[in-house]
A and B are shown apart, each in its own frame.
Chain A
Amino acid sequence: MDVLNRAVETLQNALKDKVLSVDVFRDQTTVDLDRAGILEACRILHDDAALRFNLLAALTAVDYWPKEPRFTVVYQLYSIPNRVFLGLRVPLESDAAEVDSIESVYPNANWHEREVFDLFGVDFKGHSDLRRILMPKDWEGHPLRKDYPLGYEEVQFSFNFDEIDDQKPYAKE
C-alpha cells in the first residue's frame, strides 16, 4: 500500500499532466497515462531503488468499439521485492492506434506487443520485430477487435443436417 502510494506520487511528480487519472477498484491500483508518458513511466518504475517494479506481468489491450478512445493498452507491473501489483493504462484513438514500445525497459514485452499487434492492430513504435505471432502470416484482419466476426459455423441439428452437410468441404483423398 505504502509502495503503491509512493509509486503514484513519483509518477505524478515526474509526469505531471501526462497522468490522466488514478483508479482504485477492488483494492487494485491503476494509473491512466497519456501515450507520450508510458516509456518514461516504465523507466521510472523499473529503475527507482525504492519502487523496483522489475517484472512485467502482463501486457494486453481492450477494444471499446464503437466508443472513443477505442483501444486501451493495459500493462501490469509487479515488484518482486515489495510484492505489489500496479496497473497502467494508455487509451488510444482508433485513427492513431500507436504507442511507444517498452521493449528497452522490459525485454519480455517483445512477444506481448507482437500479440497485441496481431490481435488488435495497435502499432508499437521502436519495436525490433513487429510481425504476426499467433495467426498465420498472411491472415487478414485483427481477430480480437469487436467488429471482427467470431467466425463460427452453424450448428448442425437434425432439421438442417443435409443443408449444412452439402456445404461442408469434405476431403476426398
Chain B
Amino acid sequence: MGLESKLGNMGVVTTTLEQVVNWSRTRAMWPMLFGLACCAIEMMAAQASDFDMSRFGMELMRASPRQSDLMIVAGRVSRKMGPVLRRLYDQMPDPKWVLAMGDCCSCGGVFNNYAIIPGVDEIVPVDVYVAGCPPRPEGLIHGILTLYEKVKGEGVKTWS
C-alpha cells in the first residue's frame, strides 16, 4: 500500500516500524462476539474471572463487526448460518484475523451430515485453528497467543 512506496527500502526504519505496529496490534485486539454453540460457553468462561482473557488485551468483546479485528468463530456453522458469517466477515475492516475455535468449525467435528459446513475455512480464510470439543479456556488462550506470534511476524509488505 501507500506506506511501502513512500518509505521504499529503508532497512532499519521499516523493521522497527513493523515491530512497533505489530506489537501495538497484539496488545489490544478486540474480538467480535461470534459465539454460536457450546464453544461459546467456553469462550465466555475464558473471558470470566478464572481464565481472564483481559490479561491478553481482549478487555471487551465488541458485538459490532465494524469495531473489531478478530473474529473467533466458536461453534458449529450450519448451512443457514454460512452466508451470514461471510457477510459479517466482509463488514470487518482490515486488518482482520479469524480464529476457528473448536472441532466443528475446523473440520466439521463430530457431525458429518447435510446441515453442517465441514470447516469454516470453506467460507473465510482462517489464521489459527484451536482443536478440542470444546477446547479448554487455556487452549483458547494458547490459540490467541499463537495468533499474536503470527501477527508479530507480519511485515510491511503483507499489511493490506
Q: Verify whether A and B have any Cβ pair under 8 Å.
A: yes
A153–B122 CA distance with the chains assembled, in angstroms: 13
Specify which chain B residues have a CB less than 8 angstroms from the CB of A148 in the assembled complex: 114
Judging by beta carbons under 8 Å apart, are B114 and A136 in contact? Answer: no
Flag whether A25 is at the interface (Cβ < 8 A).
no
Instruction: Give chain B's interface residues, CB within 8 Å of chain A.
Output: 79-80, 108, 112-115, 118-119, 121-125
Flag whether A26 is at the interface (Cβ < 8 A).
no
Specify which chain A residues have a CB less than 8 angstroms from the CB of B125 in the assembled complex: 170-173
Asked whether A150 and B122 contact (CB < 8 A) given A136-B79, A136-B80, the answer is no
Specify which chain A residues have a CB less than 8 angstroms from the CB of B121 in the assembled complex: 170-171
Asked whether A170 and B122 contact (CB < 8 A) given A135-B80, A136-B79, A136-B80, the answer is yes
Specify which chain A residues have a CB less than 8 angstroms from the CB of B115 in the assembled complex: 135, 143, 151
Specify which chain A residues have a CB less than 8 angstroms from the CB of B108 in the assembled complex: 153
Q: How does the 8 Å CB contact mask read for A130-147 relative to B, with 1 for contact and 0 for none? A: 000001100100010000
Judging by beta carbons under 8 Å apart, are A151 and B114 in contact? Answer: yes
A78–B113 CA distance with the chains assembled, in angstroms: 33
Specify which chain A residues have a CB less than 8 angstroms from the CB of B118 in the assembled complex: 153
Instruction: Give chain A's interface residues, CB within 8 Å of chain B.
Output: 135-136, 139, 143, 148-153, 155, 168-173
Specify which chain B residues have a CB less than 8 angstroms from the CB of A149 in the assembled complex: 114
Q: For residue A152, which residue of chain B has the nearest CB?
A: B112
Specify which chain A residues have a CB less than 8 angstroms from the CB of B124 in the assembled complex: 171
Judging by beta carbons under 8 Å apart, are A171 and B112 in contact? Answer: no
Specify which chain A residues have a CB less than 8 angstroms from the CB of B123 in the assembled complex: 171
Specify which chain B residues have a CB less than 8 angstroms from the CB of A155 in the assembled complex: 112
Q: For residue A149, which residue of chain B has the nearest CB?
A: B114
A170–B123 CA distance with the chains assembled, in angstroms: 7
A45–B112 CA distance with the chains assembled, in angstroms: 42
Judging by beta carbons under 8 Å apart, are B114 and A168 in contact? Answer: no
Asked whether A150 and B80 contact (CB < 8 A) given A169-B122, A170-B121, A171-B122, the answer is no
A169–B123 CA distance with the chains assembled, in angstroms: 8
Specify which chain B residues have a CB less than 8 angstroms from the CB of A173 in the assembled complex: 125
A59–B142 CA distance with the chains assembled, in angstroms: 45
A173–B96 CA distance with the chains assembled, in angstroms: 11
The 10 closest A-B pairs by CB, nearest first: A151-B114, A152-B112, A136-B80, A153-B118, A150-B113, A171-B123, A169-B122, A171-B125, A151-B113, A171-B124
Specify which chain B residues have a CB less than 8 angstroms from the CB of A139 in the assembled complex: 79
Q: For residue B82, which residue of chain A has the nearest CB?
A: A136
Interchain nearest-CB distance for A142 vs B (Å): 11
A168–B107 CA distance with the chains assembled, in angstroms: 11
Q: For residue A155, which residue of chain B has the nearest CB?
A: B112
A168–B80 CA distance with the chains assembled, in angstroms: 19
A173–B122 CA distance with the chains assembled, in angstroms: 10
A152–B112 CA distance with the chains assembled, in angstroms: 5
Partner of B112, one of A153, A170, A172: A153
Q: For residue A137, which residue of chain B has the nearest CB?
A: B80
Specify which chain A residues have a CB less than 8 angstroms from the CB of B119 in the assembled complex: 168
Q: For residue B80, which residue of chain A has the nearest CB?
A: A136
Q: For residue B118, which residue of chain A has the nearest CB?
A: A153
Q: For residue A148, which residue of chain B has the nearest CB?
A: B114
